[in-house]
Amino acid sequence: MRKISIISILFTLVFGYSVASEVNVFNARHYKADAELYSKFTNKTGINVNLINGKAGALEKRMIEEGADSSADLYITADAGRCGVFKAKGMTQGGLISPAIKAAVPANFRTSHWTGIAKRARIVYYAPERVSGAELSGLTYESLADPKWKGRLVIRKSSNIYNKSLVASLVKNNGKKATADWAKGVVANMARTPEGNDRAQIMAVAAGEADIAVANTYYLALMLSGKKGPEQQEAAKKVKAFFPNQNDRGTHMNISCAALVKGAPNKSNAIKLVEFLLTPESQEHFVNNTFEFPMIDGVSANPLVVNNIGLDFKQDLKTKVSSYGAKQADALEVMTTAGWK
């Protein structure tokens, strides 16, 4: 039997009829500012947002175990790979394709089961005093396996979802065998055993432990904002951003995504919430609090992103982000086989 909220029960007891005035969001995004958006949505629509926060794995496990009894309407998480794998487990449903969503989100950043609500790029950061312009010229993700980077590269663990999606995109574009050879080259070039989050990789370059790092775009802006303290702010000032693959398919793009959960009890409200998250008001809130790129046209990125990372780059619009989930198992296999810890 599906769970019914206490508010709905009380409403029925007092007034004699029920009303669908809520939407249940299982939220794996770890940004406090997101809650402010949900409050704005409630104020505008009267639809209450019940927010269940947690880590992606724990939330997915709960929804899977609850099955038809789950109250979940939307699953919001970082990375298309997670939404893709969740869909593959039969936990999502079609219908997230209203005219407003289709008009706002390019086709390669959405499916009928889930859609991007904000974008990010996974790029290279470098120490300008130790990495020459000639070395950077024509840099691609593929060329990170070049022996010239031996002992100079830092990147997160193979289990990290951002890396799994990046490598999945390489499997999609180059094939599994070529990507397996590439992964061996990357491991050979690592300056240290993978450790820490994306900001730790940037810190390692700033400290001279490595010359280049792979990390998402918004992390540098977050560090420069001072929200993570003066040490990280100063470290961020010592590195520069570089967008790989500008001469071919473009830089690897990923998303924060919202998935419509199978059996959602408040499907129409869930669609309304996603539409709200794709309005200029919400998109401006994202870019100025999480430093992500906007999903929709007509909204500017945060000045810290514009001035220190840049917007004038070729995005990979060829590779559909739905392939990240489809190729995730292959990606993890080639990394672990290569000895990528």
DSSP string, 223-253: HHTTTT-HHHHHHHTT-EEE-S-TTTT-B-E
> Could you tell me the domains of the chain?
6-119+254-300 (3.40.190.10), 120-252+315-337 (3.40.190.10)
For the chain, give the mean pLDDT.
Answer: 94
- Predicted TM-score of the model (pTM): 0.92
Chain center to CA of 38: 19
Where does the pLDDT of residue 1 fall: very low under 50, low under 70, confident under 90, or very high at 90 and above? very low
Token pair, residue 309, equals 């990372």
Residue type at position 58: A
Region 83-88: what's the mean pLDDT? 97
Q: Is 57 exposed, middle or buried (0-12, 13-18, 19+ CB in 10 A)?
A: exposed
Amino acid at 159: S
Q: How far apart are CA 236 and CA 202, in angstroms?
A: 7
**Tens digits of per-residue pLDDT, 139-187?**
999 999 999 999 999 999 999 999 999 999 999 999 999 999 999 999 9
pLDDT value for 230: 98
Q: Do residues 225 and 78 touch, judged by C-beta distance below 8 A?
A: no
Residue 226 CB neighbour total at 10 angstroms: 12
What pLDDT band is residue 48 in, cutting at 50, 70 and 90?
very high
Residue 121 to residue 56: CA distance in whole angstroms = 20
